[in-house]
Amino acid sequence: MFKFKVLWFISLITLQVLLANSYCTKSLVPALYVFGDSSVDAGNNNNLNTAAKANTFPYGIDFNNCSTGRFSNGKTFADIIAIKLGLPIPPSYLSVSEIERYQIASGINYASASCGILNSTRNGECLSLDKQIEYFTSTVTKDLPRNFRSKTKLKHYLSKSIYLLSIGSNDYILNYLRQEIGTNQDGNPEEYADYLLRQLGSNIKKIYDLGGRKFVIIGVGPIGCIPGYIIRKSHSQDCNEDVNQKVKPFSKKLPWMLQELKTQLSGSLFTILDSFKVFKKIRNSPEKFGFTNICDSCVGEGAKPCENRKQYYFYDFGHTTEATNEIYANKCFSGRHACVPLNVEQLVHAH
């Protein structure tokens, strides 16, 4: 009888430790779940059959010189938001073994480079948004219930957690902008944006139906200004405005789509990062943000990366440095204009 009581006591302690890990830390929210493309991929693609991987030097040079699969010299936007929320950096879904997944209650990263909103957007193997949400569904229905003693507690946890989506760029870079060279089947940019936004909206609704309420959405930025598209002249470097005009309808219409969704999904809250606006601010006075170069990739062809990585906006042909990610994350977390209508801090406290 005594032995039985001791065992019972020990198992209670174990349970409390588990719950403490998920609740009683100093974090502002219980968890951060991340969906998206290479802008926030934390290593899912390392496990897939694709050339779109960032698990070799010089990626991660400022992440303890460890090439984790992040497409940057250091932390991504999502990593920095997690830290600001007081959470561990969410591990990538495919790097956690199936039997360990249930132990992670502070958030998971499903993002995958070279994928997008549409199933047809891909370059080699990657996790489309549909697939990412399929995995998240498995997290919510199979893994998380093992951590919660009641459905009500799980529901509460899901409603307080934050869902960050950074996706859509590849639906242009690897899809629409490429097709245009050939057949241009998808008609005008406005219609294409509508189509993407409908798909994005229905995926957000799936997360909502599983219990998510608080969303941070990173739209498509000025793709015409990345080193891969920029127009280089002898005395200046101009953004490719033709490309920018084609991608702009997406970010212009994103707030309307989310406003519409908000009326349909009761209790939902959205934060949108306006990357066009933030980029314009930085481009107008780079020095104010500590940048000396906002046009070139820090990593040259096969060469070593630049030394002054804090002064470069771009790390490679299409991805930003940690310095850039820090600026966006700081502004979105507590600034007043980058993330609207709420910054992340306000989103945390809103209900």
Ligand X SMILES: *[C@@H]1O[C@H](CO)[C@@H](O)[C@H](O)[C@H]1NC(C)=O
Site string for ligand X, 48-87 (x = CB under 6 A): ---------x-------x----------------------
Q: Which of residues 65 and 188 has its CB atom nearest to ligand X in the complex?
A: 65
Q: Which of residues 122 and 331 has its CB atom nearest to ligand X in the complex?
A: 122
How far, in Å, CA of 192 to CA of 34, rounded?
25
- The answer to whether 308 contacts ligand X (rule: CB under 6 A) is no
How many residues form the binding site for ligand X (CB under 6 A)? 5
Q: How far is the CB of 136 from ligand X (least distance, A)?
A: 14
Q: Which of residues 67 and 293 has its CB atom nearest to ligand X in the complex?
A: 67
**Residue 33, phi then psi, degrees to nearest 5:** -110, 130
Q: How far is the CB of 119 from ligand X (least distance, A)?
A: 4
Q: Which of residues 53 and 213 has its CB atom nearest to ligand X in the complex?
A: 53
Q: Which of residues 158 and 200 has its CB atom nearest to ligand X in the complex?
A: 200
Tokens found for residue 28: 């502002």
Choose, by CB under 6 A, the member of 28, 124, 130, 345 that binds ligand X: 130
Please confirm whether the linkage preceding 145 is cis (ω < 30° from 0): no
Q: How far is the CB of 243 from ligand X (least distance, A)?
A: 25
Q: How far is the CB of 281 from ligand X (least distance, A)?
A: 33
* Catalytically active residues, by annotation: 38, 316, 319
Q: How far is the CB of 131 from ligand X (least distance, A)?
A: 6
User: How many alpha carbons lie under 13 Å from residue 10 in its C-beta half-sphere?
Assistant: 6
How far, in Å, CA of 277 to CA of 339, rounded?
10
SS (H, E, C) the chain: CHHHHHHHHHHHHHHHHHHHHHCCCCCCCCCEEEEECCCCCCCHHHHCCCCCCCCCCCCCCCCCCCCCCCCCCCCCHHHHHHHHCCCCCCCEHHHCCCCCHHHCCCCCECCCCCCCCCCCCCCCCCCCHHHHHHHHHHHHHHHHHHHCCCHHHHHHHHHHCEEEEECCHHHHHHHHHHHHHCCCCCCCHHHHHHHHHHHHHHHHHHHHHHCCCEEEEECCCCHHHCCCCCEECCCCEECCHHHHHHHHHHHHHHHHHHHHHHHHCCCCEEEEECHHHHHHHHHHCHHHHCCCEEEEECECCCCCECCCHHHEEECCCCCECHHHHHHHHHHHHHCCCCEECCCHHHHHHCC
Q: Which of residues 199 and 321 has its CB atom nearest to ligand X in the complex?
A: 199
Q: How far is the CB of 128 from ligand X (least distance, A)?
A: 6
- The answer to whether 125 contacts ligand X (rule: CB under 6 A) is no
Q: Which of residues 82 and 140 has its CB atom nearest to ligand X in the complex?
A: 140
- The answer to whether 119 contacts ligand X (rule: CB under 6 A) is yes
Contacting positions for ligand X (CB under 6 A): 57, 65, 119, 130, 199
